[in-house]
Structure 1
Amino acid sequence: MSSGNDCQPQTLTKPTFGEREAAELVDRVFGLKVSWIRSLPSYDDQNFHVRVSAEGADEYVLKITNSEDSQEPDLIEAQTQAMMFLSTEGFPSATPYLTKDGNTMSLESGGSGLGSKKYMVRLLTYLPGIPVAKITTNAQILYEIGRLAASLDKVLSEKFQHPSIKSLHRGQFIWNLANVPLLDQYIYALGQNKYCAVVEQVIEQFKGKIIPKLSSFQAC
């Protein structure tokens, strides 16, 4: 995901591959024939759920990283290695299918957008399930999510080592919970949504109650 410093970065950096082009990418880069493919929701990357013509009908997610982050291979490599590490530690984490050259990712051109851009491409194992946004949550489910997140953070902070691990710490990254105030510039995206006032209130409370104490919290 891009840094999010631009109010509408996805319009400039998001890949624009069609399903046929994505299927050809899987064949050319990973040596697998796609028997079924569909687009998945995404923000500024592009994701496809694919099923390949192989014994067991394996399923994967073709992840095409936005052109901005694709210029930071060390960052993507660190992310990928972290996913592989978590999988070995028993967490439900996707892992990469290697390219025909034996790499975890490949820089490729394509898409229907203007100009010639390159995108980092990975093929990740598909994890079946239901997104939390589509289920009715309760206190127990939220507790389990929090416990899993805490366990994941603990294992990563105590055991994970990688030469480019510092690339994961990006100051103005909007997906970092410490940067909630940066979301002010994205309120427009909610339009007339009934939750707009609630979101604005949460951001203001974060500024007043969390920011002054931020230095006392453990960074994730």
Structure 2
Amino acid sequence: DVVSNAQMGGNYKPNLSASSVPMLVQKVYGLSVIVVQELKSYDDQNFLVEEVPGSSLPSDSQFASSHRYVLKILNAFDSRKPAVAEIQTEVILHAKRADIPTPDVIPTTNGNYQLLLSLPKSGFEDAEMEKYVVRLFVFMPDETLDQVALSHQLCYEVGWLAGKLDSVLQDFSKAENSVIASMSRGWNMSHIPELRGKLHIVRCPEQRRIIGEIIDKFETSVLSAQDKFSKGLIHSDFNECNILVSQNFSSVPVKPSEVCRELEHTTSVDNNDVGATEQNFCLDQMQKNVAAKFKCRILTSDNAHSLDTKPWHVSGIIDFGDTTFSLYIFEVAIAIVYIMLNKHGVPAMEAASFFLSGYLQHISLTDFEIKHLKLCVCARFAQSLVLGYFSITSDPGNEYTLTHAERVWPVLKYLWDMPDELAFVQLMEQVTSKL
């Protein structure tokens, strides 16, 4: 989440010093490690650590061959509900047992998968203490999806894995557990109507108008009719930084070649044509630059091809921190938003269609649900744009947020202007299974 600290109303992000990490890992897990680097995170604190030569987990441990790990310290706000974190950990273990490729959770020396520890808030040992949930994961060294060019097969594989995971979690979510119902964070799409209170942060009148229209229609057509949509436990954050890819391993079967053909030719769009007009409406210079910079390059393939000779395949999924019980169409919409924003490789609507084709191999969606997919994707885009601008206001130097915001508006405008029937036809183009 890019703005959840702001939404929480305070700074709850852990601030443990790197020098304190080896002692913590030794005490809790019995491992001697060095810190390789601190990994990017917006709410939590993550450290990549490596075993010191001669140190390892007990030889009878199933993880004895692992040498690199990620120490994850959950933010103080979410650590106040350790039962939710515990359910998330159980979800990971459940997915792992069903052969979903996700990092193993390392138990403590006492056999627990997580601990609630009191740690200094400011990084100094004599600082005020705060309680944080701590977990250790086996490090998966694969690349993240945002670092590679998309292909039709890759889009299909992302959808296939998302559908497979949601299918696997159906068994888990059948268990009676009141905690599951409370697993909701600020980015949950059910909170989209609350964006009205933040629309003032959007300085462009056209953007405000369209976002307002989307919120109204989403609330009326989807949120007020949730009994018409299928629900289940979903990952809820299938974004390009949480999807792992590899050239040596695939967790997903290959889509039939006659369907998953790569286009030999694509139509280019002049980057100076699309998105230029909204500059005239922007009152805030920062948002003006953001709207103008990226244009609409991702609406068509820019003919960017990877120099790699071997194709990339989906190899894993990480970060279950947003897991929630919600509509399956939301899982699809969230993932489609991120693959649509890929800067090269596959045009946006093609990417969405191949993803949907993969997802439907495991989770069935009705015609009614898919006809509302365009609206749900637009609603997620709107949520991302508003919360992104909100975050930029408090943290103008946040490179991730700036980059994300500049990519969102052109695609949102393009999709919102597209007739609903045309959007449905294009989304269904690669779907081969009968609904």
State the AA in 2 paired with 1:75: V
Q: Does 1:124 align with 2:137?
A: yes
Instruction: Identify which of 210, 215, 235 aligns with 1:207.
Output: 215
Measured in 1, the distance between the counterparts of 2:117 and 2:33 equals 18
1:164-175 counterparts in 2 under 5 A? 165-170=177-182, 173-175=185-187
1:86-165 counterparts in 2 under 5 A? 86-113=95-122, 115-159=128-172, 165=177
Q: Does 1:176 align with 2:184?
A: no
Q: Does 1:68 align with 2:73?
A: no
TM-score (norm 2): 0.43
Measured in 2, the distance between the counterparts of 1:139 and 1:201 equals 34
The offset of 1:71, in angstroms, is 1.9
Measured in 1, the distance between the counterparts of 2:198 and 2:46 equals 23
1:180-195 counterparts in 2 under 5 A? 180-182=192-194
The offset of 1:178, in angstroms, is 3.3
What residue number does 2:229 align with?
217
Q: Percent identity of the aligned residues?
A: 29
Structure 2 unaligned segments of length 5 or more: list them.
Answer: 57-64, 232-325, 327-435
The offset of 1:137, in angstroms, is 2.4
Measured in 2, the distance between the counterparts of 1:41 and 1:132 equals 16
C-alpha RMSD of matched pairs (Å): 3.4
Measured in 1, the distance between the counterparts of 2:197 and 2:6 equals 7
Distance 1:210 1:19, change over 3 A: same
Distance 1:49 1:131, change over 3 A: same
Measured in 2, the distance between the counterparts of 1:116 and 1:146 equals 42
What residue number does 2:410 align with?
none
Measured in 2, the distance between the counterparts of 1:200 and 1:132 equals 31
State the AA in 2 paired with 1:155: V
Measured in 2, the distance between the counterparts of 1:139 and 1:122 equals 36
Structure label with greater radius of gyration: 2
Distance 1:36 1:109, change over 3 A: same
Measured in 2, the distance between the counterparts of 1:72 and 1:204 equals 33
Matched positions, count: 214
Q: Is contact 2:121-2:130 (8 Å) kept?
A: no
State the AA in 2 paired with 1:88: R
SS at match of 1:75: helix
Q: Does 1:81 align with 2:90?
A: yes
Structure 1 unaligned segments of length 5 or more: list them.
Answer: none
